[in-house]
Chains A and B, each alone.
Chain A
Amino acid sequence: MSENYQTFEYDVLVIGAGGAGLRAAIEASAAGCKTALVCKSLLGKAHTVMAEGGIAAALATVDSRDSWHQHFCDTMIGGNFANHWKMAEIHAKQAPDRVRELEKWGAVFDRTTDGKGNINVRHFGGHTYKRLAHVGDRTGLELIRTLQDKGVHSGIQVHMECTIYSLLKDGDRIAGAFGYFRETGRPVLFKAKSVVISTGGIGKLYRVNSNSWECTGDGFALAYMAGADLADMEYVQFHPTGMVWPPSVRGILITEGVRGEGGVLKNNKGERFMFKYIPPKYRGKYAETEEEADLWFKKVVVEGQVEETVKERKPPELMSRDVTARAIWNEINEGRGSEHGGVYLDIASRRTAEDIKRKLPSMYHQFKQLADVDITKQPMEVGPTCHYMMGGIKVDPETQMSTVPGLFAAGECSAGMHGSNRLGGNSLSDLVVFGKLAGEYAAAFAKKNDLPKVDEAQLAVLSQEMNRPFEHEGGESSYAVLADMQIIMEKGAGMYREEGLLDQCLKDLEGLRTRWAKISAEGNRMFNPGWHVALDLRNMLVVGEAIARAAKERKESRGGHTRTDFTTYSADFAKKRIVIRRHGDVMEVATEDLPQIPETLETELVKEGLLKPEILKQIRGEVPAH
């Protein structure tokens, strides 16, 4: 071993300190395990902080008709039944308890105005009833701060600004992780009995995205390289409303809460175009005329009438993200876009300036400061932005363990919960529901197993690999490779995919891998972003390939995966999931059966009128969807 490294020993090591990681660490620590939390940024800065609109849970504080059954059905329909039903069930059942628990840990949610003072909930796309507990438009900040303050008093050891470069194994089981401290560049070894991956998403693979520098798909790549299965990697969510102008802010998120609070989408002709795009699965649930939508808005949003007593249906702006993003894309493509290549999102003409500032303070601030737009007076320009990865590490729905013993995953980096399309608000609840389970079962695994052995020789190889960018001279900068990576993914595996483009994408990624191997980093290992990007790119190349291969395999369109050469749902794929696994140096693509809702539950939901058999048949590709 050519250089020294620090060594730590833990029962449970959690990688990633967003909502899922923090929740997992709190649970593992409460179970009596010596627990550590490793994060690439400072604690409290993880991407969870950017979540705006709310956390979905069938609390039924505003609409008494809500139930876990309804939340479950909304999640499955939103995900086009590509979800692992068991995860969707656990999520719908447990989310309300997790939200109330946050409150007991100090979270301060907005209250209902009915005099009872319960947790208030708001409308969001694809949710039948008002269901998102929220704090203005900064719910993610509230969640992360609450968990952070709970966590620092739970005896968790936090290693900040530390990047994991590789997981370690002892035979088949997990043995820990190896990485470096960003400040010093010094390597560090974590020996652990179990490891939880909660590293979030992949947004940085795409040019227009709503994600931070951290979202480079680390967890997916680490797990893949450690031999764990990935699933559903073709399902990438493009959020319908990212900022469009000026160029420097392109992609930054505009919360769906704007539409929840009454905002409407218009094209350059002033037309509210969403009425044209209601798919069969949502027909009958959304208003079909502007008059009806406006009446609903007036009664429910402005006057605050109890929705149960309102006969009008809600506006189609509140459909799920995949549907809305495709509608916006289509308007832009057909020449009805806004001046900078988006469409208009108008709340100025719908709510008073005072209401807008109170309900959407950070949106008001964001546009005023960054785009010179006053959203109380002018419409916003919006367009799709890469936002979320539905696919990820394949886990057992109840324990969150991956196919590698002792390796767990929770949150965005795990697969199954959201199917082919995530509903807004279901991410924050996903984090706390499955974060808790991952922590609980990682602790149980740690208690049953001894500390594994770590192969010291392997560490020397990894150390050398990490140092490689400093050993090349005159090579490219990592930033140039990153910029091309984002363009390759946008062109080849973006919102719309097709066989030829995917083949080209895979070929381009291969070429990029050659360039990546020759990257040069300048300076030394101390806090060196150029070097960090070079190492993160290894992960991005793995994830990019996984997305393109999975997307090529799924010859149908479903949720976040839209093929221009296979435009409909297909019965051949409806009950299958695409699995990616490592076979030596080759990325293997396999197809597995997706577990289906048990007949008894399906019958029950149909009987309650929550599921319609003909819609199910359409989504399962058994009859055409018109």
Chain B
Amino acid sequence: MSKIHMKVYRGNSEGGELKDFQVDVNDGMVVLDAIHRIQATQASDLACRWNCKAGKCGSCSAEVNGKPRLMCMTRLNEFEPDQTITVTPMKTFPIMKDLATDVSYNYEVNKKIPPFTPKDGAVWQWQQRDIDRIQEFRKCIECYLCMDTCHVLREHNKFGEFAGPRFFARIASLEMHPMDALDRTALLKEQQGIGLCNITKCCTEVCPEDIHITDNAIIPLKERVVDKYYDPLRIIWNKVFGK
């Protein structure tokens, strides 16, 4: 067993600071194990969320040495033995306590997305290749690391104007479903601010499920908005024929 040095953010909505911890570590430990060890031996009231401990539920999101990560999938041996490991809460969301943040914004956005609505007379048979692309989006574990890293939210605070990468992936999974009857293009343009995304691909980079959020969800959705609202030929056509 060896020891590592960790700094963990402790505080609440009124403020806080990084606290130092020396933690005993064994083979194979992840950052979440180290946090649990701190809870069990040094600070039993240290707040953090977790559930599955296997990268499947997306609860233990935090920033490890500044990078948005799932704590349960971040091995301690990624770091040098003498390197300090700093764990802070997701910066984009308001802090509740220690590593737990208020992620209710995500649930509010989700409520505003019109749900899957099957076409009249839908036939529930389709080929695997028809759904491969939406199954990619449905892998999302709602860890909100993409929301955390997105500068439109993180730096520019466009809450309320911008749905965020998680929800563009969600809308893509509905829009590209072979049996869905709705068109959510107006919503994307008017309320969810898809135009604000300037495709820096930061969301894709931090996605622990390896979903190509920018390339496979956001860009195709942007194209749909452009097709519908900004295609010059369509504008002329609509003017000439009075549509």
Residues of A whose CB lies within 8 Å of any CB of B are: 41-47, 49-50, 100, 103-106, 108, 110-111, 113, 116-118, 135-136, 138, 141-142, 145, 149-150, 152-153, 183, 212-214, 245-249, 252-253, 362, 365-366, 369-371, 477-480, 483, 521-524, 526-531, 533
Contacts and interface: CB of A to CB of B under 8 A. Distances in A.
B152 to A, nearest CB: 23
B58 interface: yes
Given A246-B27, A370-B73, A47 B116 contact: no
Q: List the 6 closest pairs (A to B, CB-CB), nearest first.
A: A246-B28, A530-B44, A106-B116, A523-B45, A527-B47, A479-B40
Given A212-B52, A370-B73, A522 B134 contact: no
Contacts of B40: 477, 479-480, 483
A470 to B, nearest CB: 11
Interface stretch (B94-102, B154-162, B187-195): B94-102
Given A135-B138, A212-B51, A529-B48, A106 B28 contact: no
Nearest to B135: A108
B26 interface: yes
A124 B53 CA distance: 24
A40 to B, nearest CB: 10
B131 A111 contact: yes
29 contacts: A41-B49, A44-B142, A47-B51, A49-B57, A50-B56, A100-B124, A104-B124, A105-B116, A106-B174, A110-B128, A111-B131, A117-B130, A141-B56, A149-B110, A149-B116, A183-B97, A213-B51, A246-B27, A246-B29, A249-B28, A369-B55, A371-B28, A479-B41, A479-B44, A527-B96, A529-B45, A529-B48, A530-B39, A533-B44
Nearest to B142: A44
Contacts, number: 161
A411 to B, nearest CB: 17
Contact of B96 (A117, A183, A477): A183
B75 interface: yes
B45 A521 contact: yes
B30 interface: yes
Interface of B: 12, 26-30, 33, 39-41, 43-59, 73, 75, 96-98, 100, 103, 107, 110-111, 115-116, 118, 124-128, 130-131, 134-135, 138-142, 173-174, 177
Nearest to B117: A106
A111 B127 contact: yes
Nearest to A526: B97
Point out which of B33, B43, B138, B173 has the most chain A C-beta atoms below 10 A from its C-beta.
B138
A117 B132 CA distance: 13
A256 B41 CA distance: 36
Given A150-B115, A212-B53, A527 B100 contact: yes
Contact of A245 (B28, B39, B96, B127): B28
B44 A213 contact: no
A247 B27 contact: yes
A246 B49 CA distance: 22
Contacts of A246: 26-29
Nearest to B76: A248
Interface residue SS majority, chain B: loop
B221 to A, nearest CB: 18
B128 A111 contact: yes
Contacts of A135: 135, 138
Contacts of A371: 28
A253 B30 CA distance: 17
A245 B52 CA distance: 17
B57 A526 contact: no
A141 B141 contact: yes
A391 B56 CA distance: 26
Contact of B56 (A104, A138, A531): A138
A110 B139 CA distance: 13
A486 to B, nearest CB: 12
A183 B101 CA distance: 10
Given A526-B97, A529-B46, A370 B54 contact: yes
A212 B57 contact: yes
B54 A252 contact: yes
Contacts of A480: 40
B95 to A, nearest CB: 10
